[in-house]
Amino acid sequence: MSKVDTNGRTVTIDKDGMIRVDGVAVFRRVIRGGDLYAQFMDGNRIRSQCRGTPYIEVSWDALTAKLIKETHL
């Protein structure tokens, strides 16, 4: 069974913007031009080489909209 956190007590934000859930690094919070992004690191070397970077950034608005849309099927 999973550990469930219904109030965010296990969520922490490091000084460098790394978001952790119960100590597990999930993504980094990045602000560019006043907009908030979630930055993920891809550990797959080949995929990262093809992309030219190991980092993928998704705007917070787009990410939350997708999560909400997919939740209300």
Domain ranges of the chain: 11-65
Is this structure's pTM higher than 0.85?
no
Indicate the DSSP class of residue 9: T
- pLDDT for res 73: 58
Closest to 18 in 3D by CA, of 30, 9, 8: 30
Could you tell me what percentage of the chain is helix, strand and coil, using 3-state DSSP and rounding each to the nearest 5?
25, 40, 35
Dihedral angle sign, alpha carbons of residues 13, 15, 18, 20: negative
Pairwise pLDDT comparison (17 vs 71), residue with the higher score: 17
- Give the tens place of pLDDT for each residue, 20-70: 999 999 999 999 999 999 999 999 999 999 999 999 999 999 999 999 987
